[in-house]
Amino acid sequence: MTLALAVLALLTSAAPPGVDDALITGDTLPPKLSNFRFFVNGKPNGRVAPYTLTTPLFSDYADKDRFIYVPAGQKARHTGDGLIEFPIGSALIKTFSYPGQTLETRVLLKRASGWVALPYVWEGSDAVLKRGGKRIEVAALGQTISYAVPNQNQCKECHQSSGAVEPIGPKARNLGAAQLQKLVTAGVLDRAPAGYTLPRWDDRRVPVAQRARAYLDVNCGHCHSRTGIANNSGLFLTWEEADPVAFGVGKRPVAAGRGSGGHDFAIAPGEPDKSILLYRMNSTDPGVAMPELGRSLVHKEGVALVREYIASMHPHP
């Protein structure tokens, strides 16, 4: 082989361009998901690492594929409180789908000004930016699902903590030791901390109280926390909340409107059918249902878990 042919062969076999870091850190809003180059020929590009969660957020039974991107020469860092600190230029990518139909991909971009949340809706072979969100009627799971792609402001609401946008799912405690080690091996995380494993909500080997607390932390705690958008409710459903009343046990609502269902307590120990928390989880009424965003269906398994948890509590006199 001549030198010219050898050079040509090398060029044509070279790796595809990496992720476009400038688009992540810049101030533009790319119109298509492919602009970022997170994926090449349907596969994750370099330093785009897949990950899974111990207890995922419920989203109308949609399947989710999750990825973390950290720019070359940098690593995400465990901060010591269960959270992960991502360097500027990082991205979190999550694709929602049902069998045979990919719906949307949400991205969180870490810029110098903070996290930016963008929703992309799939149209053919690419996903296009839909800042206003979109409603998609999906035939799946033996029914028609009115699937809601959130608008950009709704993304901000769910991800808000102390007035700033923050990631929800990829906390160290919700990744687990094996998953954390995979991210270390992929070169996107500095180390795999121990002692931060959230139990799977459906693992019946774990006591029901722990499973229910994990489920409520992931599905409700991002808003119902001391720094979340629902902090004025006084109901804090995070894993680390130590005050039983703040967590809802024997707690009266701040405002007893239609959402209370006529019940007196967020959690009435031993009486799930008299608990506001379960009443709202079991509703699809837009004025009652909790969480407010991200679902149009009732998560029957989640409701059953929380029902079992409340029923296991010793009733108040």
Q: pLDDT digits over 184-223, tens only? A: 999 999 988 777 678 999 999 999 999 999 999 999 998 9
φ and ψ at residue 272, rounded to 5 degrees: -60, -35
Cβ distance 222 to 216 under 8 Å? no
Percent of the chain's residues with pLDDT above 70: 92
Please name the residues in contact with 149: beta carbons below 8 A apart, sequence gap of 6 or more: 103, 104, 119, 121, 130, 133, 134, 135, 136
Q: What is the mean pLDDT of the chain?
A: 89
Residue 294 has pLDDT above 90, yes or no: no
Q: What angle do CA 243, 247, 250 make, to 5 degrees?
A: 95
How far apart are alpha carbons 275 and 86 in whole angstroms? 38
Provide the token pair at 12: 């044509």
Q: Give the model's pLDDT for residue 114.
A: 94
**pLDDT (average), residues 235-241:** 94
- Integer Cα distance of 201 and 215 in angstroms: 6
Give pLDDT, residue 16.
64
Question: Where is pLDDT greater, at 294 or 273?
Answer: 273
Question: Residue 94 is which amino acid?
Answer: K
Distance CA 121, CA 98 (A): 14
Tokens of 297: 């269906």
Cα within 13 Å of Cα(32), Cβ side: 8
Integer Cα distance of 179 and 182 in angstroms: 5
Cis-peptide, bond into residue 119, ω within 30° of zero: no
Predicted TM-score of the model (pTM): 0.89
